[in-house]
Amino acid sequence: MAAPEERDLTQEQTEKLLQFQDLTGIESMDQCRHTLEQHNWNIEAAVQDRLNEQEGVPSVFNPPPSRPLQVNTADHRIYSYVVSRPQPRASYFIAGISPFFILKGLLGWGYYLIMLPFRFTYYTILDIFRFALRFIRPDPRSRVTDPVGDIVSFMHSFEEKYGRAHPVFYQGTYSQALNDAKRELRFLLVYLHGDDHQDSDEFCRTTLCAPEVISLINTRMLFWACSTNKPEGYRVSQALRENTYPFLAMIMLKDRRMTVVGRLEGLIQPDDLINQLTFIMDANQTYLVSERLEREERNQTQVLRQQQDEAYLASLRADQEKERKKREERERKRRKEEEVQQQKLAEERRRRNLQEEKERKLECLPPEPSPDDPESVKIIFKLPNDSRVERRFHFSQSLTVIHDFLFSLKESPEKFQIEANFPRRVLPCTPSEEWPNPPTLQEAGLSHTEVLFVQDLTDE
C-alpha cells in the first residue's frame, strides 16, 4: 500500500519526489510534494529555489515586499521588428483573371469604402464606451493579488496545450525576473501571450517550441512569459505597451537601467526569431561587457577598501591592545606601589604600636628589689644577639613580670620564650591553657641567682 504522501502520483512523479528529498534533505514528504507541485514538478527549478532559500535568496513563492524595478521603454535606440499579416491586394487587374472576378473585386472595394465611415464611427464610440466603463467597473486584471499563481497557472495551461518541450519558464514574478537579470547581467526575454489572438496558437506550436529556439533561449537568456488575461501579465502589458501579438521584448541592464532594447511583434518564424534575437544580443553585448567590467572594478575597489578597513581595524586593535597592556602595567605598578606603601605604613604602625607597648610595659614594671633583700632573685638574661641583661626580681612576683621586662627592652625580639637550663625547661611566663595564671618565681623553682635564655620566636 502506498504511503499517504505518494497517493495519486505517477511513477515519474514518485521518482522525482524521492530524488528531490535526497537532494534537499527535507524530511517531510508533504513539504517535498508541495514544493514540487509549486514548480510544476520541475525538479531542477525546485532544487534551485530551495538552494536559493538556503543562501538567503527569498523563494519565488514567498517574495519579499520590495519596490519593483523601473524599466526604460523609451530608449530611442530600441530595435523594433514587426511581422505584418498579409493584406488583400488593391488591384485585381491581373492577366488571366476573368471580368467577373474583377467586377466582384470592385464591388467589394466599393462596399468597403462606403462602410468605412460607419465602421470608424462604430469603433470610436465603442472605444469611448470602454474607456468610460473603466471608471464604472475597473478591469479585474488591474488588481494583482497572486502574481506567482498567475505564472504557474499560465505554465500549466501552456504545457497542457503545447506540451513540455518549451523554453524554461522563469518561475517568479516579473519584478523578480528583472532583479535576477540585473544581478546576473543576463538578457531577459519577455513573452506576452494573447489567448484570443489568431496567431498565438501557431506561434507557440511552431516557433516557441522549436528545438533550436528552445536551445537558444535556455543557453543565452532568462525567459519570462505570462498571459495578458492574467493580472500579472496584464500589468506587464500596460508597462510594455505591445501593439499586437505574439509579442516579445528583450530587456537588459543598459546604462545602469533595465531597458527594453528589442521588440518583436507578429507571427515570426523560428529561423527569423533566432536571427532577430541573435542580432539584438550582439548589438547590445558591449553594454553587458562594460557593466560587467565596471561591476568587477567596483567589487575589486570594495574588496580593496574592505582589506584596508580590516588592516586599519587590525592596527587599531593592536594599538588598543598595546594601550590596554600599558594601562594594565601602570595599574599593576600603581597597585604594587600602593601595596608597598600600605605595607610600609602598616609596618610603621606596628612598630609604633610595639614601641608604645614596650613603653607601657616598662612603666608598669614594679621597682627592682635591693641586693640586700633576702627575697630577691638575681637573674641574668642571655639575649639572642649574645648580649646579657641583669636585673633583680622578687620571689613573690609572677613570671609575667620577667616577660614584661624583657619585652620592654629594645634588644629583645618581638616574640620570644624564656628557657631555664637546670633542669632545661620553658618557663610559662604568659597565660596559657595549662597555666591560666603564670606561677611566681618561687613556684617556678628559681634560685637566688639564675641564668635564663631568651629564645627568639619571631620567625615562627
Span 188-232, pLDDT tens digits: 999 999 998 999 999 999 999 999 999 999 999 999 999 999 999
Lowest mean pLDDT among 49-53, 161-165, 397-401: 49-53
CA 441-443-449 angle, to 5 degrees, is: 40
86 band by pLDDT with thresholds 50, 70 and 90? low
Q: What is the DSSP string of 225-270?
A: EEETTSHHHHHHHHHH---SSSEEEEEEEETTEEEEEEEEES---H
Give yes or no for residue 54 having a pLDDT over 50. Answer: yes
C-alpha cell at 423: 633542669
Burial class (CB in 10 A: 0-12, 13-18, 19+), 190: buried
Residues 138, 117: Cα–Cα separation, whole Å: 30
Residue type, 407: F
- Are the CB atoms for 189 and 277 separated by under 8 Å? yes
Query: Bridge-partner residues for 250, per DSSP?
Result: 189, 262
Selection from 154, 139, 177 nearest residue 227 by Cα = 154
Core vs surface per residue 390-425: b (16+ CB within 10 A) or e: ebebbbebbbbbbbbbbbbbeebbeebbbebeeeee
Burial class (CB in 10 A: 0-12, 13-18, 19+), 138: exposed
Q: What is the pLDDT of residue 11?
A: 83
- Pairing, β 257-265 against β 71-72: parallel
- pTM for the full model? 0.52
DSSP state of 443: T
pLDDT one-digit tens code per residue, 308-340: 988 988 998 999 999 999 999 999 999 999 999
Q: Which domains does the chain have, with CATH numbers?
A: 16-55 (1.10.8.10), 147-292 (3.40.30.10), 376-456 (3.10.20.90)
Q: 610600609: which residue's cell?
A: 344
Report which of 78, 76, 226 is spatially closest to residue 141, judged by C-alpha positions.
Answer: 226
Beta-bridge mates of residue 251: 188, 260
- Nearest to residue 182, comparing CAs of 287, 253, 288, 256? 253
Q: What's the gap between Cα 443 and its chain centre?
A: 91
Dihedral (Cα; 105, 108, 112, 113), 10-degree rounding: 60
**φ and ψ at 190, to 5 degrees?**
-105, 130
Mean confidence (pLDDT) of the chain: 84
CB–CB of 250/189 below 8 Å?
A: yes
Q: Please determine, for residue 58, whether its predicted confidence score (pLDDT) is greater than 60.
A: no
Distance CA 289, CA 253 (A): 11
Convert the pLDDT of each residue in 146-167 to its tens digit. 888 899 999 999 999 999 999 9
C-alpha pair distances (Å), 388 with each of 236, 381, 411, 449 = 119, 6, 10, 14
pLDDT digits (tens, 9 = 90+) for 263-305: 999 999 999 999 999 999 999 999 999 988 988 888 898 888 8
Instruction: For helices 29-38 and 43-54, give the axis angle rounded to 10 degrees.
Output: 110
Q: From CA 235, how far away is CA 88, in angstroms rounded?
A: 35
CB 408 within 8 Å of CB 396: no
